[in-house]
Amino acid sequence: MIVQHELNHFINTNREKIQQELTHHLHQLDIPEQLKNSMIYSAEAGGKRLRPILLIASFNAYSDDVSKVLSSAVALELIHTYSLIHDDLPAMDDDDVRRGHPTNHIKFDEATAILAGDALLTFSFELIANDVYLTDNQKVQLIQLFSKASGPKGMVAGQILDMEAEKKAVTLEELETIHALKTGELFRFAIRSGAYLGEATREQIAHLDKFAHFLGLIFQIQDDILDVTGDAEKIGKPVGSDETNEKNTYVKLLDIDGAVEKKEYYVSKAKKELSEANADASYLMALVDYLSNRDH
């Protein structure tokens, strides 16, 4: 079993590797300065690097040499970054601040933010297609998963459903569909692609796929809980902002106790799938509790 300080070491070490790889790829770009600056600004704006860390943890459950997945991990983080830039735009969530810094369109301008998002999205496919560690077949498999997870059948579908849901009350089922698409699909890509490149069996990947689904929901429920019970300083936004913004949340639909209960239920489901995937002793197992109990 992985103990806390081992997990912290794993997270910090890989966050550092991801950061180096990301910096390497973006800083070497020979492109117009304004575009480059705005891409780097958002990509390096901090963040937990959760998705690439999940990808690496999933890979590590079956294989060792992390260099094989670093480009894919960065590509995933860049897709996540593009989605945040576009999400923050005035026509979307209209957010001026993210992680304590001005959002991209505030720091630069709206047109630049739109183009920086487009550029990061496109560049993430270029990264995978040019990854020297992967075979052509691996690249194609990854791009199939990646485009599906992030495109109109995945994340973008979640974003439009989320927007539509803002105007009305939703059921728990509808809420979970939105989360499964908007955040869950990239979680699934992280876990599936890591295991695939780590040469997990087809059956193991099937269990991990379910695991990833539950992990995404756990992540989201904890988000909703923290909005009510968290420390404003740590979560980086006022406590109770979901209620103020009339957002559909687990807490709104189930109250705090119901949300905690639901989360614990998914934690047990997630861990069961991990066992079935022979990944009991992996960092993924430790990450379930880490995500379930995080305070920010």
Q: Which residues bind a copy of itself (CB under 8 A)?
A: 29-32, 34-36, 39, 82, 86, 89, 91-92, 105, 109-112, 114-115, 117-119, 121-123, 125-126, 129-130, 136-137, 139-140, 143-144, 147-148, 150-153, 156-157, 159-161, 163-164
Cβ proximity to a copy of itself, 35 vs 228, nearer residue? 35
User: Least separation, in Å, of the C-beta of 43 and a copy of itself?
Assistant: 12
> Minimal distance in Å, beta carbon 92 to a copy of itself?
5
Nearer of residues 87 and 273 to a copy of itself, judged by Cβ: 87
Cβ atoms of residues 74 and 25 within 8 Å: yes
Q: How many CB atoms lie within 10 A of CB 161?
A: 17
**Rounded Cα distance, 125 and 142, in Å:** 10
Residues 6+ apart with CB under 8 A from 52: 14, 18, 73, 74, 76, 77, 190
Q: Residue 174 Cβ, how far from a copy of itself at the closest point, in Å?
A: 12
Helix, strand or coil, per DSSP, at residue 223 = helix
Can you tell me the distance from the alpha carbon of 253 to that of 285, in angstroms, rounded to the nearest whole number? 28
* CB 141 to a copy of itself: min, Å: 9
Q: Which one, 65 or 164, has the nearer CB to a copy of itself? A: 164
Closer residue to a copy of itself, CB minimum distance, 161 or 253: 161
Is the sign of the CA dihedral 120, 123, 125, 130 positive or negative?
negative
State which residue, 59 or 146, has the beta carbon closest to a copy of itself: 146
Task: Report the sign of the C-alpha dihedral through residues 237, 242, 248, 253, in that order.
Answer: positive
- In whole angstroms, the minimum distance from the beta carbon of 44 to a copy of itself comes to 16
